Copies of this chain bind each other. A is one copy, B any other.
Amino acid sequence: MNGAPPSITLSQAQSPCFVGLDVGGTNIKLGLVDNLGRTIARQTIATQQQDGPQAAVERMAAAVRQIVQQAGGSLDKIPGVGLATPGTMDIPAGKLLQPHNLPAWWGFPIREKLSAACGRPVVFANDANAAAFGESWVGSGQGFLSIVFLTLGTGVGGGIIIGDLSVDGQHSHGGECGHVILDYHDTARLCPCGQRGHLEAYASAQAVVQRTQEGLEAGRPSSLRHRLASGEGLTPLIVAEEAERNDELALEIVLETARYLGIGVVTLMHTVDPGAVILGGAMTFGGPSSPLGQRFLERVRQEVRRRAFPVLAERTSVVFAALGSDAGYIGAAGIARAAHHAAPGGSAA
């Protein structure tokens, strides 16, 4: 679980171990993960994106060395390092293209530079795809042949994992599941990407705020008005809080968000037919531990049952993610592991 202590020590680990890094606009999470996906140690460092990518790569390499040494290990026993970053990116080339939250890093050949700085092979991945891989490997996707992962936050990200394969796509845009079309009409909601009718235009945090705003502007009665009058900003969190207090508008917004998600999920089920659809990210209205989160999930499932092929509606699991914000570094380590085991010199485990 997110925030839980590392689960094992190096002496309990199954070799080989891998390091995974998950680079965000603010922080970089990294972890030392064993061959069974268990975290031995982890750490968070600041991204300091404004200092440029080479400085960050050097701090990342230092953190990799440190985490391995502090666990009592030796970097030369680590067959590979997994590096996840936000897109856009060129995965086969190991390069960042234009990640919007890393503007000082555009065009940087990060894979090769990190490999040079830490002296180990580095495998490069998209951050949402890495999180999907983590959930597939040791999270809510365990035991399924394939999964689709949706990460709900400011936007709606996604990843598709089939066996050990992350569907990166021909142009490093695989699994952009927030950009499936729900409504092709010119009247459909505008997505931040500039197009209309995408899932993200309906089910992201930004969309929740906008749809709530529209309800308020239309004169709907709501306890949200008191919150806003007292100077609070309109966020999915206060929508969730008022929904938990049974405010009609707020609850409707939460359940409509679930409905839109369910529609997008059905398109993904009819395309990929995964064993499980996994919902993660910050905007799951409390997630598994909250009654509102459970209502939200149940409403997604209801829409899936209503719209999917009967056999898929019956058999596909629609569940919350299990790894929280650890999914990215665990998945990055898992992708490094898969590459290692697939390579001619790798073990056949």
Q: Please report A residues at the B interface, Cβ cutoff 8 Å.
A: 88, 144-146, 158, 160, 162, 165, 167-177, 179-185, 193, 195, 198, 260, 263, 266-275, 307, 309, 311-312, 315-316
Contacts and interface: CB of A to CB of B under 8 A. Distances in A.
Given A195-B307, A263-B181, A272 B145 contact: no
Contact of A316 (B145, B170, B185): B170
Contacts of A195: 307
Contacts of A312: 171, 173
Contact of A271 (B176, B182, B263): B176
B273 A170 contact: yes
A312 B170 CA distance: 9
A183 B180 contact: no
B193 A271 contact: no
Given A173-B269, A180-B180, 15 more contacts: A145-B170, A146-B170, A160-B271, A162-B162, A162-B165, A167-B272, A169-B273, A171-B273, A173-B270, A177-B270, A180-B271, A181-B182, A181-B263, A195-B307, A267-B271
B315 A171 contact: yes
Most buried by B among A169, A266, A311: A169
B146 A176 contact: no
A315 B170 CA distance: 9
Query: Which 6 residue pairs of A and B lie closest in terms of their CB atoms, listed nearest first?
Result: A169-B273, A170-B275, A179-B270, A173-B273, A174-B273, A184-B263
7 contacts: A170-B273, A176-B309, A179-B309, A181-B267, A182-B183, A184-B263, A198-B270
Contacts of A181: 181-182, 263, 266-267, 307
Nearest to A268: B271
Contacts of A268: 271
A294 to B, nearest CB: 24
Contacts of A171: 273, 275, 311-312, 315-316
Given A183-B185, A270-B180, A144 B170 contact: yes
Contacts of A172: 273
Contacts of A267: 180-181, 267, 271
A88 B160 contact: no
A272 B174 contact: yes
A176 B273 contact: yes
A167 B175 CA distance: 14
B311 A170 contact: no
A169 B309 contact: no
Contact of A183 (B88, B183, B309, B311): B183
Contacts of A269: 173
B271 A272 contact: yes
A273 B90 CA distance: 13
Nearest to A193: B309
